[in-house]
Amino acid sequence: MDEWKKVRLGDIVKTNQNTYSPKENWEYVNYLDTGNLTMNRIDSIQYIDLSKEKLPSRAKRKVKYNSIVYSTVRPNQLHYGIIKEQPENFLVSTGFVVLDVDGDVANPDYIYYILTQREITEHLQAIGEQSVSAYPSIKPSDMEELEIYLPTLEEQKRIVSILSAIDEKERNNTAINNNLVA
């Protein structure tokens, strides 16, 4: 733990970097709204044919591989995930803050695991409850101001390998249980 450094999240991530412009003239969009993602599990992605349908006003944020998406509304509802695969012309709601991690300093999966700890979501929920909006909400700057402890990249990779093995075991157990019920 002596090698761990306290860092401000905003110093190792870029937030909301890429936005879709209608000038890009996509024929269709695959859109993910905040309510369709919970604890890194996507319920559905909405396909929107732009020749027949209007793009929702919140469908603006572009993501890429390893982008972390975190809902700015009611953090305690756990609407967050890390992008590992995506369809073409993929946009997410502006209700997400999109965090792109500087891979030279931090492992995106490690940062994802940090941000999804119960203590962090409770802290962000408490910040949200102080907001002036009608419902608990946070700003990207609230996330950027978080201070976290960062071990070496090698140590981050070791931690991620353990946590991802546990996640995989949970997914397999859920699949087995679902097959038993069916």
- Tracing tokens 């979501």 back to the chain, one arrives at 121
- Tracing tokens 């306290």 back to the chain, one arrives at 6
Of 38, 33, 27, 12, the residue nearest 143 (C-alpha)? 12
Q: How far apart are CA 76 and CA 96, in angstroms?
A: 14
The pair of structure tokens assigned to 157 is 């990779």
**Helices and strands (H, E) in the chain, number of each type:** 4, 12
Q: Residue 132: pLDDT band by 50, 70, 90 thresholds?
A: confident
Q: For the residues 109-130, what does the mean pLDDT come to?
A: 96
Return mean pLDDT, the chain. Answer: 94
- Tracing tokens 């793009």 back to the chain, one arrives at 55
Q: For residue 82, what pLDDT is reported? A: 98
Q: Residue 2: pLDDT band by 50, 70, 90 thresholds?
A: low
Question: What pTM value is reported for the model?
Answer: 0.92
**Angle value at C-alpha 100, between 102 and 133, nearest 5 degrees:** 135
Residue range 16-36, pLDDT digits in tens? 999 999 999 999 999 999 999
Q: For the residues 92-108, what does the mean pLDDT come to?
A: 97
Which of 50-54, 56-60, 129-133, 170-174 is predicted least confidently? Answer: 170-174
Residue range 46-97, pLDDT digits in tens? 999 999 999 999 999 999 999 999 999 999 999 999 999 999 999 999 999 9
Domains annotated on the chain, with CATH: 5-181 (3.90.220.20)
E-strand ranges in 11-95 read 13-15, 28-32, 37-38, 41-42, 46-49, 59-62, 68-71, 80-82, 90-93
